[in-house]
């Protein structure tokens, strides 16, 4: 029996790339009782509804995570929440910093309060590699969001609600990612590359969805779950997608890292390897979490895209793209 069987689950930002794949998965693989899509765009909700014309389990709820009163209404009788709503484009966040703070930080606070007040059992919030040792505003807002969801467990006190985060890297083929851009520009014969040595983590949507489902099963509260995923150089990515294209080096953009990081060395002392993923346990004097069984990592451990043990080959990348 699956955790979601007979239960009600709500996904904020449910019409995004992750939300659509998550909903498709749970509708087809579980006996979930009700699935609520909470998002701002009525057109995207309408388009998504056309994919499931006869599925009475699906509900659509127009609203913004900035609106706590609307969240309180939406969370009524909801058992589980996956928080995927965010402003995530790095340049847009740099240019519109207060908007990013309102959605990514204040929105997180609203989700936490509404979940506690409505008696939601578990909340899993999506994080990003940019939240580890952040250098841009988007990463900084998600770093704060991660902290809020961890500390939300203490804030909930004796109430039933528990919170955890799932942190992963770039999603293959998601909206706004570099792969659709490279595929579009391939016909021009020129692909822009920021730096010849740049590396990134890569994960498929299906893997991201499974990681969230695993987190819902495994979490006690306060953890950050980090999947083990491969890296690839941007140069190799470009050559795989358009082998005959010219590579034009344009330099790094503001707020961009040469290599991404999912776990910093400063967090190694609270990190465990549980096989399929790493788990960072919370550090809060006022909250004693139940610990997931695993093997502690070495004190000098750091999980970065340039020092990764897993690397994508061209063939593996093309196979991943097929399933986008």
Q: What is the pLDDT of residues 298-316, one digit of tens each?
A: 999 999 999 999 999 988 8
Cβ burial of 49 (10 Å; 0-12, 13-18, 19+) is middle
Q: What is the DSSP letter of 37?
A: E
- Residue 85: closest CA among 17, 8, 171, 174: 17
pLDDT at 288 over 90: no
Residues marked active site are found at: 130
pLDDT tens string 197-210: 999 999 999 999 99
C-alpha to C-alpha distance for 307 and 81, rounded to whole angstroms: 34
Instruction: Write the CA distances from 46 to 8, 60, 136, 182, integer angstroms.
Output: 21, 9, 34, 29
Overall pTM surpassing 0.85 (yes/no): yes
**Residue-range domain boundaries for the chain:** 8-170+202-229+261-305
pLDDT confidence bin for 1, thresholds 50/70/90: low
- Dihedral sign, Cα of residue 314, residue 316, residue 322, residue 324: negative
Task: Please tell me the class of the 8-170+202-229+261-305 domain.
Answer: alpha beta
Using CA atoms, how far apart are residues 225 and 246, in angstroms rounded to an integer?
A: 38
Q: Which residue has the higher pLDDT, 90 or 37?
A: 37
Query: What is the spatial distance between Cα 192 and Cα 177, in angstroms, rounded to a whole number?
Result: 14
Which of the four pLDDT bands, split at 50, 70 and 90, describes residue 324? Answer: low
> Smallest Cα–Cα separation from 114: which of 123, 105, 103?
123
In the chain, DSSP assigns E strands to: 8-12, 34-39, 58-62, 80-83, 122-126, 162-166, 170-171, 190-193, 199-203, 224-227, 231-233, 246-249, 261-263, 271-273, 277-280, 295-296, 303-304
Confidence of residue 320 (pLDDT cuts 50, 70, 90): confident
Alpha helices in 204-308 (DSSP H): 205-218, 234-241
Q: What is the DSSP string of 232-258?
A: EEHHHHHHHH-TTSEEEE--PPTT--S
> Do 13 and 111 touch, CB atoms closer than 8 A?
no
Above 70 in pLDDT, residue 323? no
pLDDT at 44 over 90: yes
The encoded tokens of residue 5 equal: 């069987």
């Amino acid at each position: 029996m699956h955790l979601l069987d007979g239960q009600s689950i709500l996904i904020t930002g449910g019409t995004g790339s992750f939300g659509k794949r998550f909903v498709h998965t749970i509708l087809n693989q579980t006996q979930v009782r009700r699935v609520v899509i909470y998002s701002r765009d009525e057109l995207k909700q309408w388009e998504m509804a056309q994919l499931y014309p006869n599925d009475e389990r699906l509900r659509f709820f127009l609203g913004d995570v900035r609106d706590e009163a609307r969240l309180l209404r939406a969370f009524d009788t909801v058992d589980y929440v996956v928080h995927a709503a965010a402003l995530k484009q790095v340049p847009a966040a740099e240019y519109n910093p207060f908007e990013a703070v309102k959605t990514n930080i204040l929105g997180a606070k609203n989700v936490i309060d509404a979940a506690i007040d409505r008696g939601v059992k578990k909340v899993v919030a999506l994080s990003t590699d940019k939240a580890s040792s952040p250098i841009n505003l988007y990463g900084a807002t998600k770093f704060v969001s991660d902290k809020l969801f961890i500390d939300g467990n203490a804030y909930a006190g004796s109430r039933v609600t528990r919170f955890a985060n799932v942190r992963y890297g770039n999603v293959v083929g998601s909206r706004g990612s570099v792969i659709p851009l490279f595929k579009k520009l391939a016909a021009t014969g020129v692909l822009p590359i920021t730096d010849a040595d740049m590396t990134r983590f890569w994960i498929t949507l299906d893997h991201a969805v499974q990681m969230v489902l695993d987190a819902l099963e495994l979490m006690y509260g306060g953890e950050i779950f980090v999947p083990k995923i491969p890296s690839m150089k941007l140069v190799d990515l470009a050559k795989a997608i358009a082998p005959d294209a010219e590579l034009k080096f344009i330099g790094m953009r503001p707020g961009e890292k040469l290599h991404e990081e999912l776990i910093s060395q400063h967090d190694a002392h609270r990190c465990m390897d549980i096989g399929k993923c790493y788990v960072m346990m919370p550090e809060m004097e006022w909250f004693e979490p139940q610990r997931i069984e695993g093997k502690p990592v070495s004190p000098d451990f750091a999980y970065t895209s340039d020092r990764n043990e897993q690397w994508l080959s061209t063939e593996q990348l093309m196979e991943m793209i097929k399933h986008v």
